[in-house]
Amino acid sequence: MYSPCKTASFAFVELIQIATNILFGFAILSVIGRIGLKVHHRRNFRPDDYIMFFGTAALITATGVLYSQFDNLYLGPALQADPSLILELDAEDINDLINNEIVSVDTFYPLLWTCIFSVKFSFLAFFKQMVDAMESLKIYYRATIVMTGLVWGFVVCTPFIICPYFKWDSGKHRITRGTRFFAYS
């Protein structure tokens, strides 16, 4: 039976997948282009390049985690749109879906933040030579590195600070503590 809500949600999932593929492709092509330019001009790789490679590895891993859970990503909204779907799943399947979803979210977000902050640290490493030539900027540069590192550590650890439990226990405690975690992530 045709349902505009279901058709729209499937179209939305496809749009998310297309947008994710395009942005992931741009990111990978940018890194490949960077490598190609370094090799073509016979330049050595510098620390900023290695930091960017680490960020690319984090992006590839995060994207893999995202794609492994794409089918389950919209399970909650689908159940809200049609609660009768829950009758088609047995209790063990529901338990596995919830456990996998919680684990993938707790894996995906730290990897994604690591990717984002790797780009920030790569820029900081790139500008290090310029800052070394200017004595007046050294303290600001060091403060920026420390603050960026602290913020990265905070955003990576926040899901685990808010709820230190894993799998099914995590879902129980997050529900009883309120929706603050879900609003953040």
CB 94 within 8 A of CB 86: yes
Name the residue range of residue 108's domain: 4-184
What's the length of the chain?
Answer: 185
Count up the domains in the chain and report the number.
1
Q: What confidence tens digit (pLDDT) does each residue in 88-113 have?
A: 777 777 777 777 777 777 788 899 99
Average pLDDT, the chain: 81
Percent of the chain with pLDDT over 90: 46
Residue 55 has pLDDT above 90, yes or no: yes
